[in-house]
Amino acid sequence: MLEADNIHKTYHNAGKAIPVLQGIDLKIARGEFIAIVGPSGAGKSTLLNILGGLDMPTSGKVLFEGEDIYKLEDAVLCRLRNKKIGFVFQFYHLLSEFTVLENVLMPALIGLKGRRDKTDLSARALGLLERVGLNKRITHLPMQLSGGERQRVAIVRSLINSPDLLLCDEPTGNLDSGSGGEIISLVRKINTENKMTVILVTHNLELAKTADRVYYLRDGILGN
């Protein structure tokens, strides 16, 4: 389903080249749950952003269902990200002035055709929120939620368009161990029930062990 072929990423600062990723190769089948572990600054988020179509590699290819995503026109790549890929970030990225329900609906409102579509989407969002125990919090603002609740909202938001691939970037980084464990259990449940491919980036090896496969990113090189 997803393949990284010889991915390199180099940044430049004050005329100095800073290599971050140095020849990453990775193949992930549909429905797999993999974890990528490494210390802070190892390039985990950079790799995840490249795999998700958010950051172009310096060289190499990312194939999504056999298609090189960085050869797509910008508008096509944007639609791919919106419809096929869900993102969950460490800092939630919820919009503070919108309610839980409104935050969840935001990605699905792009390209919405009519009122009936919105009604159907609202029903789907409510069903997902009930599934994660937040059906009584739909009118709350993010500031009125705990960290674990905010992350559950972020996960539901990532699922609203029924993506094929879910990318999780340190989703438990701001949570205590109990809440973090609940979030990983939820992600694993989604992976199993929906046959959704999941890539989890984390520095926590214990959480990573819940995945089907664990990779380690060190010095820009990915290994088992």
User: Which of 61, 69, 64, 68 is closest to 5 using CA atoms?
Assistant: 61
Check whether 111 has a pLDDT greater than 90: no
* Backbone dihedral angles phi then psi of residue 20, each to the nearest 5 degrees: -110, -45
Side-chain half-sphere exposure of 88, counting CA atoms within 13 A: 31
CB proximity list for 21: less than 8 A, separation 6 or greater: 7, 8, 9, 43, 46, 47, 50, 57, 220
According to the model, what pLDDT value does residue 115 have?
Answer: 54
According to the model, what pLDDT value does residue 11 have?
Answer: 92
Per residue in 190-214, pLDDT tens? 899 888 999 999 888 888 888 999 9
Domain annotation for the chain: domains and CATH numbers: 2-223 (3.40.50.300)
How many residues can be counted in the chain? 224
Side-chain half-sphere exposure of 113, counting CA atoms within 13 A: 3
| 105 DSSP 8-state letter | H
Report CA 84 to chain centroid distance, whole Å. 11
Q: What is the mean pLDDT of residues 42-67?
A: 94
Tell me the pairing of strands 197-202 and 33-37. parallel
Per residue in 133-175, pLDDT tens? 898 999 999 999 999 899 889 999 998 988 999 999 988 887 8
Q: What does the mean pLDDT of the chain come to?
A: 90
